[in-house]
Amino acid sequence: MKGCSSRREQDLSAIALRSILFGYLILLIILPLGHIFGEAFREGWSGFWQSLQKAEALFTLKFTFALALFTAIVNAIAGTLTAYVLVRFPVKGKTILNALVDLPFAIPTAVSGLMLLLLYGPQSPLGSWLGDRGIDIIYAIPGIVLAMIFVTFPFSIRSVQPLLLEMGQDKEEAAKTLGASSWQTFQKVTLPMLWPGILSGFSLTFSRALAEFGSVIIVAGNIPLQTQVASVYIYGEVESFNMVGAASVSVVLLILSFTLLYAQNRWLARKRRGDR
């Protein structure tokens, strides 16, 4: 009987802690999240729909989606190769490279934008040289893509690297003793085991690129129907006090991000269950 009461106490403190935790999360996350959906649908479904049918809104969503997808693909490939080289090859200066990889996360996004603006802008030698050849980077699509690639650079590497470290070399060595060449080993043994990391890096990169604001607004400006990405559009709508318009585009971005996050978690959980 006494045993029961001591268990009871534990349960009570667990309930108290859970309540505090839930309360904190509700105030901080759930409540604001609910509110933005409320705002988007304040004028009902049709109001939401009309906001999205505006040419600028439609453009910005398609535009941002396409560029984010492109960024995610580029970084998935470059990031996987970089991680592989960092982990498996006896590269000198590995420590420095490893530190460099994380730099973009340590740089404020506004500063990242400024860095690209200064390097590729029309005032800089590189920018004007490119401009003379008809290649505009700043205030154009290449600049946005560069900014997106820059700020999301570490995601893919850091998703793939731990898998490579964890899996060790024994599976690759096994493939070699079975006669596989280096390329066959990479393709048939290493790569399939890296998929979870690559996909997770891909979806992190994609949703971050979808959301990028600071660097893009500085690099690409705010030209509707030309270089206006979704975050910048939302900011513009807020400035002109069109809250329903801002909230509607926000809701679309949120749904995209959450779906991706959810799909990835599900997929990883299934994968993990399978692996153990």
Partner 1 sequence: MSIEVKNLIKNFHNTEVLKNITFQIEEEEMTAFLGPSGSGKTTLLRIIAGLEQPSAGEIYIGGERVDHLPPQRRGIGFVFQNYALFKHMTVFDNIAFGLKIRKRKNEIIGCKVFELLEKMALQGLENRYPHQLSGGQQQRVALARALASEPKLLLLDEPFAAVDAKLRKELRQWIVKLHEEMKLTSIFVTHDQQEALEVADRVAVFNQGKLEHFGTPREIYHRPATPFVASFVGDVNYYQTKIKGGYADVGPIQIKAYRLVEGSDVEVVIRPEDVRIEPYHDRADLKAQVKQTTFLGDFFKVEMVLTGDKTITATVSKEQGWVIQPQDWVSLRILSTKLFTKERTPALELFHQRRPVEELAKTADASL
Q: How far is the CB of 238 from a second copy (least distance, A)?
A: 5
Chain positions 87 to 116 lying near partner 1, rule: CB under 8 A, are none
What tokens does 15 get?
A: 């309930």
Contact status: 192 vs partner 1 (CB under 8 A): yes
Chain positions 13 to 52 lying near a second copy, rule: CB under 8 A, are 14, 17-18, 21-22, 24-25, 28-33, 35-36, 38-39
DSSP symbols for 22-40:
HHHHIIIIIHHHHHHHHHH
Q: Kindly tell me the sign of the dihedral angle through the C-alpha atoms of 213, 216, 222, 225.
A: negative
What does 117 bind: a second copy, partner 1, none (CB cut-off 5 to 8 Å by kind)?
Answer: a second copy
Spatial neighbors of 102 by CB under 8 A, at least 6 apart, are: 154, 158
Q: How far is the CB of 167 from partner 1 (least distance, A)?
A: 9
Exposure of 83 in the CB half-sphere (CA atoms within 13 A): 26
What tokens does 82 get?
A: 């970089």
Nearer of residues 101 and 189 to a second copy, judged by Cβ? 101
Chain positions 59 to 118 lying near a second copy, rule: CB under 8 A, are 78, 82, 85-86, 89-93, 97, 99-104, 106-118
- Residue 128 host element (H or E): helix 125-132
Chain positions 162 to 191 lying near partner 1, rule: CB under 8 A, are 170-171, 173-181, 184, 188-189
Site string for a second copy, 175-214 (x = CB under 8 A): --------------------------------x--xxxxx
Residue 117, Cβ neighbours under 10 Å: how many? 23
CA separation for the pair 232, 20 (Å, rounded): 36
Given candidates 47, 180, 186, 257, which one binds a second copy under the rule CB under 8 A? 257
